[in-house]
A = this chain, B = another copy of it.
């Protein structure tokens, strides 16, 4: 039997974790029959609930699931981890300023980066889902000096999938016929969902939709989709976030489809005028467990403006985090 792959999840008793753990355990990340160990991490007050999650995972009798470890100690949870989902984060509470939120999360993710550096597999792939995801990824990576910053990324795949779904609905095609979508920049309200390169059944999307929709309603709908789901469900989009996290990690590990790409927030190299030194969402292609930013696209002026704006927000977040001297 091959060795069991070590998969760590923080915030594992939360709503996203409750979806993510079962879909991974059922074989949807690594493939059916690949043995895996779930290393589920929570803060101390949630450990009782996490015990219940572990009981239910056992009760599913999953063929792939070989062990479940639960812990409120990062050292134990991250030990030997090869895939890491950083889902848990401090949510914005009533009366909390954005700067307070950034500071709270900077503390959490700097510590997580440091413990990953000590305990995780040195080639571990780390996906940050907890918000502010891009800057949390930057902080975690900065505190893991022995790990390659390219092995950290932040999730914009949910935005990417949402954008594909909106385009599919608009053009009356199945979502699987949409290719070459791009989410640029920050996983925030400044993100730029860009249709200019997208194809639908091989045809340029811009030949199928009007420019007003592409630059107006489409962008706003994708940016505000999370709020729309909360308004309908009364609670946040946990299942689709978990699904996107699996898509992100699976494509990173096993490769993107031929001719297509995905959106991932990765360390910026300045491509397309994005600022250096931030985690910026780009179109990327993955193969052999590594990603590369798609080059040679030619964003128009509208796009360059949007890329600049979301980049500026990321610089502000980075500078605020730096001032905390973490």
- What total of chain A residues lie within 8 Å of the partner, measured CB to CB? 47
A49 interfacial contact with B, CB 8 Å: yes
- Per the bound structure, the CA–CA distance linking A23 and B246 in Å amounts to 13
Contact A55 B23, beta carbon cutoff 8 Å: no
Given known pairs A165-B58, A165-B59, A225-B59, the reply for A22 and B239 (CB within 8 Å) is yes
A123 part of interface (Cβ distance < 8 Å): no
Instruction: Closest B residue to A233 by CB, please name it.
Output: B52
Identical copies of this chain, number:
2
A240 at the interface (CB under 8 A from B): yes
Our pick among B19, B55, B165, B234 for the contact of A232 (Cβ within 8 Å) is B55
Say how far A283's CB is from chain B's closest CB, in angstroms: 16
Pick from A53, A57, A233, A237 the residue with the most CB of B within 10 Å.
A233
Give which listed residue, B56, B169, B174, B239, contacts A240 with CB less than 8 A.
B56
Residue ranges of A at the interface with B (Cβ–Cβ < 8 Å) = 13, 18-19, 21-23, 26, 28, 48-49, 51-53, 55-63, 66, 158, 161-162, 164-165, 169, 174-176, 178, 225, 228-234, 237, 239-240, 243-244, 247
**6 more A-B contacts (CB under 8 A) besides A26-B28, A28-B28, A60-B240?**
A19-B239, A49-B233, A55-B229, A56-B233, A59-B237, A60-B239
Task: Provide 12 A-B residue pairs closer than 8 Å at the C-beta atoms, listed in order of the A residue.
Answer: A22-B239, A22-B243, A26-B243, A49-B232, A51-B232, A52-B230, A53-B233, A58-B165, A60-B239, A60-B240, A61-B165, A61-B247
